[in-house]
Amino acid sequence: MRRMFGAAAIAAAVMFGGLIQAWADSTVPYSDAAFKAAQAARQSILVEIHAGWCPTCKAQKPIIDKLAADPKFKDLKIFRVDFDDMKPAVQAFGAKMQSTLIVFKGAKETGRSVGDTKEASIAALLDKSL
């Protein structure tokens, strides 16, 4: 009986963890059309200028995922712009380096940070998109 309960508990934890991860990983690749549509819908938006090789970007990802899972940010649309492969978009956002986070409320930019890896200040930045 104890073995069966243990197996059921492990299965439930794995399934629940998968659901949390799927919900938390709300980042989508950037496209100009999707970004403009989100702006037109007056959505809260985070643009994440990201590079796969960047240690700061890697540190930001779990923080952003955790915050995106908060019901407060349930409507936040997160767009990931690849710093190396999407230079026109990087330049259009005026980003000088990877690990740049830019928030919008509709078409209006409401905040920006570069290289931040502190959960409290990233949360404060995201608050500016609400």
Mean pLDDT, rounded, of the chain: 85
Residue 66 lies in a domain: yes
Rounded to an integer, the average pLDDT of 70-91 is 95
Residue 19 lies in a domain: no
pTM (2 decimals)? 0.79
- Examine the pLDDT at 56 and tell me if it is beyond 70: yes
Give the pair of three-digit tokens for residue 36.
Answer: 């403009």
- Top pLDDT among 107 and 17 is at 107
Give the pair of three-digit tokens for residue 128.
Answer: 């500016």
- Mapped onto helix, strand or coil, the DSSP state of residue 32 is helix
SS3 content of the chain, % helix, strand, coil (to 5): 50, 20, 30
d(CA 79, CA 110): 16
Residue 16 lies in a domain: no
- Top pLDDT among 39 and 27 is at 39
* Residue matched to tokens 């779990």: 62
Q: How many domains does the chain have?
A: 1
| Domain of 68, in residue numbers | 27-127
Residue 90 lies in a domain: yes
Phi, psi of 101 (to 5 degrees): -115, 130
Residue 6 lies in a domain: no
Looking at residue 66, which CATH number applies to its domain? 3.40.30.10
Residue 35 lies in a domain: yes
Residue 93 lies in a domain: yes
Residue 100 lies in a domain: yes
Residue 7 has what pLDDT?
A: 43
Q: What digits encode the pLDDT tens for the residues 99-111?
A: 999 999 999 999 9
Give the pair of three-digit tokens for residue 66.
Answer: 């955790």
Confidence of residue 27 (pLDDT cuts 50, 70, 90): confident
How many helical (H) and strand (E) elements, i.e. helices and strands, does the chain have? 5, 5
